[in-house]
């Protein structure tokens, strides 16, 4: 198998991105991409030499300064000034895993030959990616329109030998790392700074990371939900395909099928039930989990389009002999999708917390708080508090960011998407959901012990056995923070499978 992924016009999809990351592939430009970049740059150089007319961002100022003409002698300084002046991010630093995606997606977007960058600039970004030199980028500063200006400026600073990077586990000056690799700073040519700063790669990278995690968490929500259903002595009738075929939302049908697959062969499922119905948090798993699956499918399609697009401005069309200023940097499609994703993940956490509550409530023969000697032992009382707190925070974080807009650049940029804020808060929702599901898994496994000697299905028994090797039964009170963290680590250790990517 090749150790490289070749940047080209081939469609970059979610599973390809996952494979690039999982297999730790290095990047190379395909011959097609190299020719696209070189031809576009050559065309732009000829155009500037032949025609001194003002073209936005190439020989003019930026934003509301777009009407100020810049002399040819200052075009390189103009681009460097742009990068430095726009590097004004603040807040927390972006995780390296997201910065790595930012580099990949920026390289992909520049490779189509509509941005006017030098080949050397793209190759240096590839060097950063391949040597895991990750620019220090900050979470705050982008309005999600005009591109992710501040974050992408920080991504671009090391190209000109400025800013900070994360390298080999340390934060250090980009200039020092450049010196180590004998990389000379890039002298930015006309339009290059704008090509680097315009674009949606901050939002896109966060979105792709969140989508990848969401597919795995969606699968885990079904698996853990099935385990909770069994531990609660739930009924399988609500998962019968006849119910779902008369309301055939794809996610709903898929969830019901998956729960039946997970519970096939269960002794607990076929034992006689004293109750006629289960609470909604169990009975309506297909409807709730399924709606989140359908939302995730929509979001995946939006981001697939985005990461295979050119999102800087202006755009260069060599064959048509045109340079056109437009608005592909505007993050509205991503902003709406990120808000939708955050809402759908928050709901997975909300229903999970309700199942946890039902399990500890002393119902259906289970002891209160799932512990022997309740009273002397508090058991799993307080993890439910924690899940409730996190679920509540997720509901707050799920408030849409895309409904807001604040005028910037002296009114030139008078409607913005706020998709960057949507991206960073969706990242937090993902991490919060992981904790909520971990708490449900801890409770479900604990409750299943009280159903012995009856067994659940072979699939769930295997899942349970692997889990209790890492997090054993809670005989008496202990520090449950450690159990929750161990449960999250267990969930993280589960590798992606093709089934998880199915819509």
Q: What is the pTM of this model?
A: 0.96
Express each pLDDT in 37-76 by its tens digit: 999 999 999 988 887 777 766 776 666 565 666 666 677 8
In angstroms and rounded to an integer, the radius of gyration of the C-alpha atoms of the chain is 26
Euclidean distance between the first and final Cα of the chain, in Å? 28
Q: What's the pLDDT tens digit per position in 140-174?
A: 999 999 889 999 999 999 999 999 999 999 999 99
Q: Could you give all domains of the chain from N- to C-terminal order, each with its CATH number?
A: 4-199 (1.10.275.10), 206-312+326-501 (1.20.200.10)
Tell me the two tokens of residue 63: 């934003």
**Residue 503 — pLDDT band, cuts 50, 70, 90?**
confident
pLDDT at position 188 over 70: yes
Q: Region 15-41: what's the mean pLDDT?
A: 97
pLDDT at 49: 85
pLDDT computed for residue 76 by the predictor: 83
How many whole angstroms separate alpha carbon 156 and alpha carbon 84?
9
Could you tell me if 306 and 106 are in contact, meaning their C-beta atoms sit under 8 angstroms apart?
no
* Portion of the chain with pLDDT greater than 70, in percent: 96
How confident is the model at residue 67, as a pLDDT? 62
**Hey, which bits of 3-42 come out as E strands?**
4-7, 26-29
276-280: average pLDDT: 97
Asked if residues 163 and 187 have their Cβ atoms less than 8 Å apart, the reply is no
CB 306 within 8 A of CB 423: no
Can you tell me the distance from the alpha carbon of 262 to that of 259, in angstroms, rounded to the nearest whole number? 5
- Please tell me the distance from the alpha carbon of residue 400 to that of residue 343, in angstroms, as a whole number: 8
43, 56, 215, 464: which one is catalytic? Answer: 56
Please tell me the predicted confidence (pLDDT) of residue 346: 98
Residue 413's pLDDT is 83
- How many C-beta neighbours within 10 Å does residue 166 have? 20
Specify whether the backbone of 158 is left (phi greater than 0), alpha (psi in -120 to 50) or beta: alpha
Instruction: Give per-residue pLDDT as tens, 293-336.
Output: 999 999 999 999 999 999 999 999 999 999 999 999 999 999 99
Identify the H or E element spanning 298: helix 285-306
What the block records as the tokens of 381 is 């009382």
List Cα–Cα distances, 174 to 81, 136, 141, 165, 271, in angstroms. Answer: 17, 9, 21, 5, 65
- Mean of the per-residue pLDDT values for the chain? 95
pLDDT at 48: 85
Q: Tokens representing 98?
A: 């997201």
Q: What is the pLDDT of residue 59?
A: 73
* Catalytic annotation present for 5: no
């Amino acid at each position: 198998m090749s150790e490289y992924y070749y940047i080209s016009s081939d469609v970059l999809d979610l599973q390809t991105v996952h494979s690039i990351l999982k297999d730790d592939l290095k990047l190379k430009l395909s011959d097609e991409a190299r020719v696209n970049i070189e031809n576009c740059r050559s065309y732009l150089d000829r155009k500037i030499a032949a025609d001194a007319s003002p073209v936005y961002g190439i020989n003019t100022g930026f934003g509301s300064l777009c009407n100020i003409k810049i002399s040819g002698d200052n075009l390189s300084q103009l681009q460097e000034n742009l990068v430095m002046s726009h590097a004004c991010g603040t807040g927390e630093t972006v995780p390296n895993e997201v910065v790595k995606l930012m580099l990949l997606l920026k390289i992909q977007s520049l490779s189509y030959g509509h941005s006017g960058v030098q080949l050397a600039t793209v190759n240096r970004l590839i060097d950063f990616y391949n040597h895991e030199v990750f620019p220090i980028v900050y979470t705050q500063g982008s309005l999600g329109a005009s591109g992710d200006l501040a974050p992408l400026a920080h991504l671009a600073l090391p190209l000109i030998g400025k800013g900070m990077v994360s390298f080999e586990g340390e934060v250090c000056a980009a200039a020092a790392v450049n010196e180590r690799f004998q990389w000379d700073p890039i002298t930015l040519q006309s339009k290059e700074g704008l090509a680097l700063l315009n674009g949606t790669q901050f939002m896109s990278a966060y979105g792709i990371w969140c989508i990848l995690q969401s597919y795995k968490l969606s699968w885990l929500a079904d698996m853990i939900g099935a385990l909770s259903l069994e531990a609660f002595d739930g009924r399988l009738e609500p998962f019968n395909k006849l119910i779902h075929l008369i309301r055939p939302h794809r996610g709903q049908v898929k969830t019901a099928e998956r729960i039946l697959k997970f519970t096939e062969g269960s002794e607990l499922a076929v034992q006689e039930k004293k109750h006629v119905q289960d609470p909604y948090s169990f009975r309506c798993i297909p409807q709730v989990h399924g709606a989140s699956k359908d939302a995730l499918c929509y979001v995946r399609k939006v981001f697939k389009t985005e990461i295979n697009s050119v999102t800087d401005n202006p755009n260069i069309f060599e064959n048509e002999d045109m340079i056109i200023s437009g608005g592909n940097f505007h993050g509205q499609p991503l902003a709406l999708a990120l808000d939708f994703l955050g809402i759908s993940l928050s709901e997975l956490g909300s229903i999970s917390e309700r199942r946890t509550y039902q399990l500890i409530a002393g119902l259906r023969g289970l002891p209160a708080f799932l512990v022997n000697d309740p009273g002397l032992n508090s058991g799993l009382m307080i993890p439910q508090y924690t899940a409730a707190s996190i679920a509540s925070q997720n509901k707050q974080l799920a408030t849409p960011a895309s409904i807001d807009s604040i005028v910037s650049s002296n009114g030139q940029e008078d409607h913005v998407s706020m998709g960057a804020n949507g991206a960073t808060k969706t990242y937090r929702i993902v991490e919060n959901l992981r904790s909520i599901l971990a708490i449900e898994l801890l409770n479900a496994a604990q409750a299943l012990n009280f159903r012995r000697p009856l067994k659940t299905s072979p699939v769930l028994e295997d899942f349970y056995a692997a889990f209790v090797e890492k997090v054993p039964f809670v005989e008496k009170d202990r520090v449950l923070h450690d159990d929750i963290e161990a449960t999250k680590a267990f969930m993280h250790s589960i590798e992606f499978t093709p089934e998880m990517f199915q819509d």
